[in-house]
Amino acid sequence: MRLYPAFIVASVLSVFVVGPLGASTAQYFSDWSAHKFFADLVGLRQPRTPDVFANSPVPSVNGSMWTITFELRCYLLMTVLGLCGVMKRRWAILVLALAVNVAAIAGAPEHRGEQGDALFGVSGFMLWFASLYLAGVCFYLFRERLRLRGRFAVFALIGFCAALFAPGAVMRAATVTLGAYALFYIGQRQSPLLAKLRTSDDLSYGLYLYGWPVTQLLALWLPSIAPLALFACVTAICVPLAYASWRGVESPALRLKRARPSRGRPVAA
């Protein structure tokens, strides 16, 4: 429920505020397409705009948002699997996850940033996102069988970090195994700090949505700013934006979901 409303607000701000501020010419709105804008909103796609941030390595008004359409497709996949009754059979989900991960690893690109090989018309990026999503689903479905230990998590984290510099196939295999293990270990840790983070306002989505455009604008206006200073400035600006997104958009949307009548959730076998 929080995905769409916050995406729409961020898209509007990116196109109508950030875009004109970062445009390389005064013809921004004359070259802008309302048809593309609304199509991108419906499809949860990264907003397409006229040229912005011309001197940036990635001249996009909000380059982070390209992943959200893949997230939506993963949610739709889970919906289809649930309607087909597959979600009641966690071993079937495990087999599916293994198959998708094998396909994603086998089709991994040689160079970072490339899609990788498609399979049956499914893009390489979609295979990779689905493999990560299904890995998380399996970790959750089999959580009572997992033995999350600190020393294993340390070794897993070290192995994952080393694999980031390895070829694409090795990196992908390490991400869905070692990286996932370390992440879930950290997530289930009991500590006052983590407990506070779990119960406090969730700023993660807002930081994700606004980090890119704020960084682009500051890099444009302050071209000589040091990386650490840029990080500090972006954080100082984005935290209030993320808080406003959570309080004003995401949290109210989630309350609408909780207000709906709930049905019994099937238990995985």
Q: Answer yes or no: is 203 within a domain.
A: yes
Predicted pLDDT of residue 269: 44
Q: Answer yes or no: is 80 within a domain.
A: no
Q: Answer yes or no: is 220 within a domain.
A: yes
Q: Answer yes or no: is 254 within a domain.
A: yes
Confidence of residue 114 (pLDDT cuts 50, 70, 90): low
Q: Are residues 178 and 98 in the same domain?
A: yes
What's 112's DSSP letter? Answer: T
Structure confidence by residue, pLDDT tens digits, 82-96 = 898 888 888 999 999
Predicted pLDDT of residue 168: 81
Q: Are residues 12 and 60 in the same domain?
A: yes
Q: Are residues 121 and 59 in the same domain?
A: no
The interaxial angle of helices 3-13 and 204-221, nearest 10 deg, is 10
* Number of folded domains that form the chain: 2
Q: Are residues 178 and 219 in the same domain?
A: no
Q: Are residues 118 and 167 in the same domain?
A: yes
Could you tell me which residue, 214 or 123, shows the higher pLDDT? 214
Q: From CA 173, how far away is CA 175, in angstroms rounded?
A: 6
Q: Answer yes or no: is 78 within a domain.
A: no
Structure confidence by residue, pLDDT tens digits, 59-84 = 888 989 988 988 888 888 889 988 98
Q: Which helix (H) or strand (E) is 75 found in, with range?
A: helix 68-83
Q: Are residues 125 and 102 in the same domain?
A: yes
Inform me whether the pLDDT recorded for 189 exceeds 90: no
pTM strictly above 0.85: no
The residue segments making up the domain with residue 109 are: 89-130+141-189
Q: How many CA atoms lie within 13 A of 227 on its CB side?
A: 0
Q: Above pLDDT 90, what percent of the chain?
A: 37
Q: Are residues 218 and 166 in the same domain?
A: no
Residues 6+ apart with CB under 8 A from 46: 40, 60, 62, 63, 65, 66, 68, 69
Q: Are residues 19 and 93 in the same domain?
A: no
Q: Are residues 148 and 220 in the same domain?
A: no
Question: What amino acid is encoded at 132 in this protein?
Answer: L
Predicted pLDDT of residue 258: 66
Structure confidence by residue, pLDDT tens digits, 130-164 = 999 999 999 888 888 888 898 999 999 999 999 98
Q: Answer yes or no: is 10 within a domain.
A: yes
Structure confidence by residue, pLDDT tens digits, 190-249 = 777 666 666 678 899 999 999 999 999 999 999 899 999 999 999 999 999 999 999 999
Q: Answer yes or no: is 72 within a domain.
A: no
Q: Are residues 157 and 114 in the same domain?
A: yes
Predicted pLDDT of residue 259: 63
Residues 6+ apart with CB under 8 A from 127: 100, 103, 104, 107, 116, 118, 119
Q: Answer yes or no: is 255 within a domain.
A: yes
Predicted pLDDT of residue 119: 63
Three-class secondary structure of residue 228 per DSSP:
helix
Other C-beta atoms within 10 Å of 106: how many?
13
